[in-house]
Chain A
């Protein structure tokens, strides 16, 4: 479904990504790990449409990915994903309004009543039924991300992009969120790309793990070469040795 052909991304002389080649089939759940600044978030932004490739191609169903975000690709960021001036219920109802044609993004009459009922049902499902009238700043980090997920799925995306969505959460809550994401992935038959800085997360969540790292490095010019996908592993067949090997690569001794 998604294909990259010799994809490069440069900012001026600074090469971020180089020689990315991959194909992803519908329904895969890919986690992406790598050191900070290795380009995994840039890659996600290219899938999202807010960044475009410098050279090479990034294709969705054989056509270049549109250069702006659209309803076929949902997104959850680490923060700022929900609208702070709307209650939980309004956040979800707004998502419904955005999906329809209209100038204002507000719903009126029957459409409004229907949207409210559907929003309520959906929020019960993700465990926010008790917080409908609260504003996002009154929610915990985990609840906020639940809301962001629920909202993202309302656009009925085929692809769900997650940019370190659970990075700011406590470990216990993170485990709950993993359950939720896996459940939603199966139920909605999504293709998921998730950026994480937690290798463990990448190791058991999803179906495929990508490690972004620089194959070539010039100590005199650290930005002369970009990162590419150095490991492309099916999740589930991973052994302890591989985990430690990658872990060592990402965090050289004495550096973390």
Chain B
């Protein structure tokens, strides 16, 4: 018998072990749900899958009685728009700040301390300020996401810039490259896959800020909806919404990973140097 640290699962066992916790959770849920519904058919805490299906059917495939909209899709579209805008703004600003502080010591000296302090401010504590300054509309939510993740992206890109071997910069200079040529031709392309990595890592925080902002002041959105129906203990709607948010997050992550492999084959194949 090999030591435990040397035992690795084969492909089939690997898959099985991976699926096992999901299956167990599902079983526990179904058992608990049936038990409670048997005692009280009006129980709201652990709805059955039929009830959840009905709730989603109502939200996604039947027009709302009040507005005539398909609320599930409206919520999804507005949430994804806010998230995409916020993350895109953060990515652009973060990339610029990161590459400039990482590559130019003069700019690093000027901006690094500020960036460190700003990254320590809890973004949610700024939310009231954002609501006061930008109003309760779309802008304040997008700004919250952008402010929340820009410092992380900027500091990550700064570190990645500093990690690029100095030999490459020296080599470019011996070929006559100017500062801007080095930034644009040597550093920027090598940082793009790192930027995608940083965005993937910061999406979790992005969702957090999105849902927090929607919960507090909004008229649509996935976060708005689950906080709205909380008043009626509508677990039959909240649970599918949470699952849907999780699925969206998962798909976004996969899409970004695919994009990175597709656009930067030299990075994906281990060509880091």
Cα distance A85–B160 in the bound complex, in angstroms: 15
Q: Which 9 A-B pairs have the closest CB atoms?
A: A137-B271, A105-B185, A105-B181, A98-B177, A80-B167, A69-B173, A80-B165, A71-B176, A98-B175
Q: Find chain B residues with CB under 8 A from A99 CB.
A: 175-176
Judge whether B2 is part of the interface by a CB distance below 8 angstroms.
no
Whether B185 lies near A155 (C-beta < 8 A) is no
Interface centre among B172, B180, B185, B189 (most CB of A within 10 A): B185
Interface size on B, residues (CB 8 A): 30
Cα distance A23–B265 in the bound complex, in angstroms: 48
Q: Find chain B residues with CB under 8 A from A247 CB.
A: none
Whether A135 lies near B170 (C-beta < 8 A) is no
Instruction: Point out the residue from A48, A85, A138 that lies within 8 Å of B189, measured CB to CB.
Output: A85
Judge whether B18 is part of the interface by a CB distance below 8 angstroms.
no
Q: Measured between C-beta atoms, what is the minimum distance from B250 to chain A in Å?
A: 29
Whether B176 lies near A155 (C-beta < 8 A) is yes
Smallest Cβ-Cβ distance to B169: which chain A residue: A69
The main secondary structure of chain B at its interface with chain A is helix
Whether A84 lies near B266 (C-beta < 8 A) is yes
Whether B266 lies near A98 (C-beta < 8 A) is no
Smallest Cβ-Cβ distance to B191: which chain A residue: A85
The main secondary structure of chain A at its interface with chain B is loop
| Sample of 13 A–B contacts (CB below 8 Å) | A68-B173, A70-B174, A75-B174, A80-B165, A80-B273, A81-B167, A84-B190, A98-B185, A101-B178, A105-B180, A135-B271, A137-B272, A151-B175
Whether A104 lies near B173 (C-beta < 8 A) is no
Judge whether B168 is part of the interface by a CB distance below 8 angstroms.
yes
Cα distance A101–B173 in the bound complex, in angstroms: 13
Judge whether B66 is part of the interface by a CB distance below 8 angstroms.
no
Whether A98 lies near B170 (C-beta < 8 A) is no
Interface 0/1 of B169-208, CB less than 8 Å to A: 0111111111011101110011000000000000000000
Interface 0/1 of B261-273, CB less than 8 Å to A: 0001111011111
Q: Find chain B residues with CB under 8 A from A148 CB.
A: 171
Whether B175 lies near A103 (C-beta < 8 A) is no
Q: Find chain A residues with CB under 8 A from B181 CB.
A: 97-98, 102-105
